[in-house]
Structure 1
Amino acid sequence: MTTRRRLLAGLAASSLMPSLGWSSVGTPDFLSAARRADGQFVLAGLTRRGDVTFTIALPARGHAAAAHPDRAEAVAFARRPGTFAVVLDCRDGTVLARLTAPAERHFYGHGAFSADGKRLYTSENDYEAGLGIIGVWDVEAGYRRIGEFASGGVGPHDIKLMPDGRSLVVANGGIETHPDMGRTKLNLPVMQPSLSYLSLDGDLLEDVTLPWAQHKNSIRHLALHTDGTVAFAMQWQGALKDSPPLLGLHQRGTPPRLLSVSQDSDRRLNGYAGSVSLSGDGAQVAITSPRGGILHVFDVTSGAAVAVHEATDVCGIGGVGQGFVYTTGGGLVGTLNGALQRHDLQWDNHLIAVSA
């Protein structure tokens, strides 16, 4: 008699096995954490047209997620400082694994898969040493932690796999914190944010810092284009009257470029850029500010501002084609040309791109 295991093996070998890829959950373009009207926190799949393809319950408020490159599988991270992350089968919500930060560590809400999906890299805080750490997890072994290395700075937040598939870029926010002090920032007078480029073995390939006048501009979130352009969004820790630029661009081997609309418009960001994205074609870059209810769009080549768009509590943003899709805390999914859909969901900070 043919056993179920042999049948499944035979189907897989003959390519008749149903796909476990992202098409099995409606081919979402993005993942986003959200909160339902009943207070339940969820992870949702979202298309560029504003359709919700799935929602899965989360144990607490989520921040960002990491989408597996091949399987309909995502790692949802707690809002910082959090010590948990859950690996979810996005087809039915099954918890495949739970990641727990080691002792005296917490996650920063972001992670990135290797190109082949066999490794997961997580940004973490070694709060007793005051150092940033990148945790390494073996996906094929059930997300077993197998190592770690220095992030190249303090307070690593966002982390992305570079287009070469052989290196990572890390947004070291520069802010030292400790769970015993809540979200209190402990080192503002001497903080130094940076972009660190690291090999997958942890070697520091390049370290990029801002001029000292910008040393309180905490580098928080990242976006990439296939040509290696890194866009980074910042959150200003100094006096708001100074209104510094909150968006930067960088390519390895060159100085960073800071982009600004005008002092008056920059002041409307209230010192806070929540998310950043490059358009699908890489020609434009945008940042959002939920505090200011505003979105700024720039031309990548010239650095010139091309659009200022108002949307209450806007934060999540993702690149599509020549433009962007954004989400708001009021449930709106929109573009610069208008609303797409509104859902009974309070969208959280980020739209995480899915490679379907």
Structure 2
Amino acid sequence: MTRMKRREFVLAGGVSAVLAGCDAPRLGGADRLAFGATQQAAPPDLSGIDLYIPGYAPWLAKYQGVPVLEHPRMRRAIPKGYDQNITMLTRFGFDGSVRQALFPVRGHDIAISPDKRLGFFGSMERDTYVAFDPKTLDRIALGKPVRPYWIGGGHGAFLGNDLVAVTERAPKRPYSGKPQDHFGHVTLRDPRSLKIVGDFSTHGIAPHEIRILSDGSHAAIANYGSTVAPGETDYGLPRHIVEPSITVVEMESGKLVDKYLGNAREQLRHLCARDRETIFAIQAELIGEGEDRHFFKGQAAAHDADPTNSEGTSYAVAPTVRVNTASGRLVEVGTAAARTLMRHGLSIEFDEAHEEVIASYPATHTVMVFDAGSGALKHRTECQPIGLQYPCGIALLPGQEFYVVAGYMRNLYVFERGTHRLHRELCHYPLNFGHSHIVAA
């Protein structure tokens, strides 16, 4: 999660209008050409597609001139007396519609059922999950972790329409000396009631993102691998990293099938996967605030503070990796030059149609595309020159040859899959209020 204090200036200019569903003015045709975008006689119809965007900083938002945290309509999903973390969820339709609601969760990622009838809001290191109606954003159910003092891992994934798999972390305690004491679990839940119908070990410490493999019977899981250090009560800097890993688990039996270990400096946070042979993962190395200043040497102009950094932290370089089944190891992807830009890797998606992997790196305003077979760098988008700041969420648009990249606080940019050309005529410019991931349905 991230802090947004000291950054209220980012909301200047029409918060209420955006919340009501209005877009910022669009650039004209000449401007689109100047930005290298394409012109189309008949833009594709994306009106049936919705984007779901968690908003980490609802205290910065107003609805009809009233702070959203105080507005009854926005608070309709918050239980009476609830006084813990609140995250705002925005459903942005490509038909221009906007619907928003606050939820009683330290939200991180959204999952939507294939039939679009149910939504799941994952909890990041807190003990409340939410099931909701994807159209109305009404709350359907609340869920709790598998055991007392366990906490959410942040992500979930649907298995068809009838099950949702949820990552959960063992209690936040100092390292015991035995990795297995800190292994997390995946709970299998009824997506409407959030009742647990099964669970299995992730065989890794502090699980985060989960992906269901194409065979439908295995799950790939990114495990941070970090714990509270011995003798401490909370996470420190640098993080106490014990065993970062990617694990592949057979869901029915809970059997560990594959395990790939990272190194002692970097957490393994996010991943995308098709099968056991095609898994790419995002690493991250947290450092202290200001310890990243050497990355900015040589810049001629002042720059803003990175809003994606958590309080007192920044990010070092941490190369994105893929599994190598022959060696049983994780190998770095891209070029040496590209890897210097891999700071705070965040979202990563697999484009099966083009055999490509698309990843965002908000700390360097960069989106990279890798060959899914070799890990070679195929394309790099420098986002600042086109007006996209801190690219975070990535979503492939279902049934379309496009994907969306969302700026941390604002804007939704649409690119063509395969060519990675910007389609300015399809972009929208709403406020996002801070996020990590988005999902399209």
* Interval of TM-score (by shorter of Structure 1 and Structure 2): 0.7 to 0.9
The verdict on how the C-alpha distance between 1:187 and 1:289 changes in structure 2, with shifts beyond 3 A counting, is: closer
Which stretch shows the higher mean deviation, 86-95 or 27-36?
27-36
2:334 counterpart (231, 239, 260): 260
C-alpha distance in structure 2 between counterparts of 1:267 and 1:182, whole Å: 30
Percent identical pairs in the alignment equals 17
C-alpha distance in structure 1 between counterparts of 2:395 and 2:323, whole Å: 19
The verdict on how the C-alpha distance between 1:50 and 1:163 changes in structure 2, with shifts beyond 3 A counting, is: farther
C-alpha distance in structure 2 between counterparts of 1:297 and 1:145, whole Å: 37
1:60-71 residue pairs with structure 2 within 5 A?
Answer: 60-71=105-116
Q: Secondary structure at the match of 2:204?
A: coil
Deviation at 1:60, TM superposition (A): 4.7
C-alpha distance in structure 1 between counterparts of 2:369 and 2:242, whole Å: 28
Deviation at 1:68, TM superposition (A): 1.6
Q: Secondary structure at the match of 2:114?
A: coil
The verdict on how the C-alpha distance between 1:328 and 1:176 changes in structure 2, with shifts beyond 3 A counting, is: same
Q: Secondary structure at the match of 2:226?
A: coil
The verdict on how the C-alpha distance between 1:257 and 1:268 changes in structure 2, with shifts beyond 3 A counting, is: closer
Question: Are positions 1:330 and 2:409 aligned together?
Answer: yes
1:286 counterpart (358, 370, 386): 358
C-alpha distance in structure 2 between counterparts of 1:187 and 1:338, whole Å: 40
Q: Structure 1: which 5+ residue stretches go unaligned?
A: 1-25
Q: Secondary structure at the match of 1:230?
A: strand
1:91-170 residue pairs with structure 2 within 5 A?
Answer: 91-101=135-145, 102-115=147-160, 117-127=161-171, 128=173, 129-139=181-191, 142-170=193-221
Deviation at 1:52, TM superposition (A): 5.2
- The equivalent residue for 1:224 is 273
Deviation at 1:169, TM superposition (A): 0.8
* 8 Å contact from structure 1 (residues 283, 322) kept in 2: no
Residue-by-residue CA offset, 1:150-197 (whole Å, 9 max, x unaligned): 11110100011111111111101111149x944447963x52211111
C-alpha distance in structure 2 between counterparts of 1:245 and 1:296, whole Å: 14
Deviation at 1:250, TM superposition (A): 3.3
- The equivalent residue for 2:282 is 233
C-alpha distance in structure 2 between counterparts of 1:269 and 1:332, whole Å: 22
* 8 Å contact from structure 1 (residues 158, 222) kept in 2: yes
Residue-by-residue CA offset, 1:267-308 (whole Å, 9 max, x unaligned): 3443x1111122352432222122222222223334332213
Alignment: residue pair count:
318
* 8 Å contact from structure 1 (residues 191, 216) kept in 2: no
* 8 Å contact from structure 1 (residues 44, 52) kept in 2: no
- The equivalent residue for 2:133 is 89
Please identify which structure carries the higher strand content. Answer: 1
2:345 counterpart (249, 261, 273): 273
The verdict on how the C-alpha distance between 1:121 and 1:247 changes in structure 2, with shifts beyond 3 A counting, is: same
The verdict on how the C-alpha distance between 1:288 and 1:50 changes in structure 2, with shifts beyond 3 A counting, is: farther
Q: Secondary structure at the match of 2:339?
A: helix
Deviation at 1:198, TM superposition (A): 0.8
Q: Secondary structure at the match of 1:151?
A: strand
Residue-by-residue CA offset, 1:9-40 (whole Å, 9 max, x unaligned): xxxxxxxxxxxxxxxxx743543212563264
* 8 Å contact from structure 1 (residues 81, 108) kept in 2: yes
C-alpha distance in structure 2 between counterparts of 1:44 and 1:281, whole Å: 28
Q: Please, what is the CA RMSD of the aligned residues?
A: 3.1
C-alpha distance in structure 1 between counterparts of 2:190 and 2:226, whole Å: 29
C-alpha distance in structure 2 between counterparts of 1:237 and 1:186, whole Å: 6
Q: Secondary structure at the match of 1:153?
A: strand
The verdict on how the C-alpha distance between 1:192 and 1:227 changes in structure 2, with shifts beyond 3 A counting, is: closer
C-alpha distance in structure 2 between counterparts of 1:69 and 1:253, whole Å: 34
Question: Are positions 1:313 and 2:390 aligned together?
Answer: yes
- The equivalent residue for 2:52 is 31
- The equivalent residue for 2:438 is 351
The verdict on how the C-alpha distance between 1:66 and 1:262 changes in structure 2, with shifts beyond 3 A counting, is: same
Letter in 2 for 1:194: S
C-alpha distance in structure 2 between counterparts of 1:59 and 1:173, whole Å: 25
C-alpha distance in structure 1 between counterparts of 2:324 and 2:259, whole Å: 12
* Length-normalised TM-score, structure 2: 0.64
C-alpha distance in structure 2 between counterparts of 1:174 and 1:133, whole Å: 13
C-alpha distance in structure 1 between counterparts of 2:111 and 2:190, whole Å: 14
Letter in 1 for 2:130: V
C-alpha distance in structure 2 between counterparts of 1:132 and 1:103, whole Å: 13
2:90 counterpart (44, 48, 53): 44
- The equivalent residue for 2:255 is 203
Residue-by-residue CA offset, 1:62-91 (whole Å, 9 max, x unaligned): 21012122242111123x211111100122
Deviation at 1:261, TM superposition (A): 3.4
